[in-house]
Structure 1
């Protein structure tokens, strides 16, 4: 082999070694830890989903709520904030129901924005947002059109409120009547298993955002994913 060939081979070997060493540093958040499938962990999942649900119902901004949820549960590196990854090519026109909820006339321009709300590499929510650009400032519209900044963060200066149209648990970790499992009419609970199988979506909300004077300017449809539970199970499995 020529001197050049040996040198090239050595450089290639060093490059591979560097990549192998650097790979862990380039990795993002690890895969979500598996939760054992027990009554206790199902109960914990239900309580956590209901906690997030109650917080969303009592606060105006889903973005800021998810900021806190991500930080409180260490879902991403410290200091991470919610980012709206835009899903382009999925525009949906506002139908009559949406226009009515926004008190928008038939000819008023309404913009649709579909995003994945992420914290680090975790997708915590997938959301559709129909908003009235005429009710926002020029700077807000420009930021929404040209960046991945979450909607709630952009419009925060409006001091908006949130009116929930619909909120439902998409996933029920325990069957209805689970609290009577030890009562006179016992309910059959799921059998314990090695891993709790969580669906993609666990919670769904539809809400209208309004200015302090009551003017509606946005309708959001949010689907929260099981990655809100992407941390070690809070309750140990039963002995």
Structure 2
């Protein structure tokens, strides 16, 4: 599975009408720096799992190889340690996202690094106090080869700190479970 492959933009599929629910989902995602926050709002608005908070399910097994340009994307030297998490974000029993996250531990606090290593708290919640922004890089409707079969869209983005330093590179596969509810 190669997650670094180029993706089609959503506009590239203009000949196929975009489902209004997917369009609303995409707009919600675009309005948040944190995918965790976007998914929480979406879960609540759609009543996918009333009262549930977004939780992390770690994906174990073979880790995804980082994209060949990961160090350039994160503006780090060849010897700078990188962190990696492969998780599924769920709202109740509904898995909404399968996400790969490469991040720079030295740009997080020691407590944040501890939480990432020892807890099932989503990255977006742990790093929220850093006030990062989201820089979209690409998106594709229907997912891509590295996504689960039920993916409705894939997003690649960098999370950027206020000083301009990249904090993380994410590849997020959003599942059809996002269409549940209302």
**TM-score, length-normalised on structure 2?**
0.83
1:90, 1:114 within 8 Å by CA — same for their partners in 2?
Answer: no
Pairing 1:29-178 to 2, within 5 Å after superposition: 46-78=19-51, 80-170=52-142
**TM-superposition CA deviations, 1:74-130 (whole Å, max 9, x none):** 11132x111111112332343431111110111111111000000101000000000
Match of 2:154 in 1: 204
Query: Quick check: which has more Rg, 1 or 2?
Result: 1
Contact 2:28–2:42 (8 Å) recurs in 1: no
Structure with higher helix content: 1
Of 217, 220, 224, which aligns to 2:170?
220
Secondary structure of 1:92's aligned partner: coil
Consecutive unaligned residues of structure 2, counting only runs of 5 or more, are: 1-15, 144-148
Query: Cα offset for 1:168?
Result: 1.9
How far apart, CA to CA, are the structure 1 residues paired with 2:141 and 2:68?
26
Deviations 1:176-217 (A, max 9, x none): xxxxxxxxxxxxxxxxxxxxxxx6110110000011111101
Aligned residues: 162
Q: Is the 8 A contact 1:94 1:110 kept in 2?
A: no
Higher strand share: 2
User: Which SS does the other structure have where 1:96 is aligned?
Assistant: coil
Question: How far has the Cα of 1:230 moved from its partner?
Answer: 1.4
Aligned-pair Cα RMSD in Å: 1.8
Whether contact under 8 Å (2:156, 2:172) holds in the other structure is yes
